[in-house]
Amino acid sequence: MIKRIKIIHPIVLYSIHDQNSKTSDFLHEGEIVEFNREKRRNGINWMEINLKGKKSYIKKDFSKIYILKKAKLIDDSCTVVFYESKTRVNYDFHDVFTSHALEKMSQESIKMKRIYDHAQKEKYVNLFYNNIDVEVSKRILAKGEEVIITNEQGMFLEVLYGKRFGYILSDVAYYEAKNWWMIVIAMLVLLGIIGGSFYSLIDNGWTIGGSILIIPAIIITAIIIICIKTILVIFNFIFQNIRKRL
């Protein structure tokens, strides 16, 4: 699990987790820093970070920070679009691309898409840009590839792929790598239920076709997974709240 924050807007640093400890220093837009933990003091949630070997604190304000997520692609594939300024101007994504061609302006276009449901469905948007100001490229990500989500911008997600920042469609299907255990649990429980059902029925002298157990096995597995997930969420919530108050 990665524990990093991207700064969306400048945010003030505090020397301790207290309103009266404000310093004259700021974290600036675009910076990515590691955080240790969250703390809650006097009704305020704080993020404890390390800067130059020293602990500092910022308020947990999602209008100014974004907690990075490591994601693994579930879709069959998706396009990640990169751009680099050809000038000294640092352009924002929405300053570079438009969803339709602008009149009286020479523009090029690039297609951003996702392919899903076993390659049976596709969604795409055409993005238009002025190639005089920026250089645009793309890469096709395959199912199972990992990216780090660094921000959400409406219809798009900003991602870190390797050492480059790019953009994908916001409805791309993915799961956070930290939840890999859910897949393992699902497979083990499903195999256990099917195997146990077969053993029980055969032990009682039943002879049945293999497909008859699939539907109840899936239903029971789904119920068990939901119960396990709910319990883990509750324990995680309790644990995180205890940690915040330590």
Q: Give the pLDDT confidence of 210-235 residue by residue, as tens digits.
A: 555 556 666 766 776 676 667 666 76
pLDDT mean over 63-84:
95
Taking 3-state DSSP, the helix, strand and coil percentages for the chain, each rounded to the nearest 5, stand at 30, 45, 30
Which tens digit of pLDDT belongs to each residue from 14-36?
A: 999 888 899 889 999 999 999 98
Rg (CA), the chain: 24
Which tens digit of pLDDT belongs to each residue from 123-162?
A: 999 999 998 889 999 999 999 999 999 999 999 999 999 9
Model confidence at 50, pLDDT cuts 50, 70, 90, reads confident
Nearest-angstrom CA–CA distance, 23 and 59:
13
Amino acid 136: pLDDT: 96
Amino acid 2: pLDDT: 72
* Token reading at 207: 């002879």
pTM above 0.85? no
Model confidence at 85, pLDDT cuts 50, 70, 90, reads very high
Instruction: Give the closest residue to 69 by CA, choosing from 167, 182, 160, 168.
Output: 160
- Buried b / exposed e over 185-218, threshold 16 CB at 10 Å, is beeebbeebbeebeeeeeeeeeeeeeeebeeebe
Model confidence at 241, pLDDT cuts 50, 70, 90, reads low
User: For the chain, which residues make up each domain, given as ranges?
Assistant: 4-67, 71-172, 177-245
What's the CATH code, domain 4-67? 2.30.30
Judge residue 11's burial from the number of C-beta atoms within 10 Å of its C-beta, 0-12 exposed, 13-18 middle, 19 or more buried. Answer: buried
Which tens digit of pLDDT belongs to each residue from 156-214?
A: 999 999 999 999 999 999 988 665 555 566 566 666 766 676 666 666 665 555 555 55
Amino acid 58: pLDDT: 94
Mean pLDDT of the chain: 83
CA dihedral sign of residues 61, 90, 107, 127: negative
Model confidence at 82, pLDDT cuts 50, 70, 90, reads very high
* Token reading at 237: 């919530």
Residue 104, pLDDT > 80, answer no
